[in-house]
Amino acid sequence: MILTVNPDWTRIYFVFIFQLGMGIIFLVLSYKVLKRKFIQTSLYLGIFFIIESFLALNNAVIVLLEFSYLVLFLYYLSVFLFYFGVIFYLIFLLNFFKEEMKITNIRLVILIFFYAIFILFLIFFPKGIKFNLGNGWRPKWSWPFLIVNYLFLSFFYMIPISLLSYKLYGHIEYFSLKKRVRNTLIGTFGLLIQSYGLVLYNTWENQIFRLTWSIFTVINLASAILVYLGIGKDM
């Protein structure tokens, strides 16, 4: 997702054509996952898709509004949800090893609470996000904030998700199922790579990079569909 406040033409295109459509597709994916079989594993994946959908739709609302305290609230909510939603994908993977790792529902609640607290500390990093009247109140992330975000993404998401993904792939014996899991893992890493690009997008004011990345982030949608087709479709 690209987190925006006031629009330029690239953001108008990206939010209203791509993100709005992506929000609807994420909502459809969550419906398909939850409708098929309402179990814990599908619930976590469904929540992940729902949060991603709400995030995309929320960004569209932000672009329509004049800069105000409401817009500030919605923007920080978007940043929070951007990180918070991934927790449920992490739990989705953890659920495959629930008995092996002795994971209880109470521990999962504690994990969610732990991540939520860290995310709150992250988004209120001193001078991390600035709004400048000179550029239409467009948010700009500082370079120290980028480093902190990259550390958070790496240690709290990339490393644990990579380890769980490798573990899940190693547990699969049947070729057909292994192929589906491989598609899921490709989608997983596509989503993670897109997250790193998003942080750079909000930090580096380079128009060529911003335009290129706006087009390239179609990988986010393709990755989500791969996750669904790989495992989510037949859970």
pLDDT score, position 19: 72
CATH number at residue 212: 1.20.1070.10
In a domain, 108, yes or no: yes
Q: Residue 117: is its pLDDT beyond 60?
A: yes
Model confidence at 65: pLDDT above 50: yes
- Has residue 176 been placed in a domain? yes
Q: Is residue 24 part of a domain?
A: yes
pLDDT band, very low/low/confident/very high, at 2 (cuts 50, 70, 90): very low
Decide if 3 is inside a domain: no
Domain count, the chain: 1
Q: Residue 1 domain-assigned?
A: no
In the numeric block, which tokens belong to residue 135?
């550029």
Alpha-carbon span 91 to 40, nearest angstrom: 10
In Å, what is the CA distance from 62 to each residue of 45, 54, 71, 170? Answer: 26, 12, 6, 43
The residues near 190 (Cβ < 8 Å, ≥ 6 apart) are 219, 220, 222, 223, 226
> What pLDDT sits at residue 234?
57
Domain that holds residue 77: 9-234
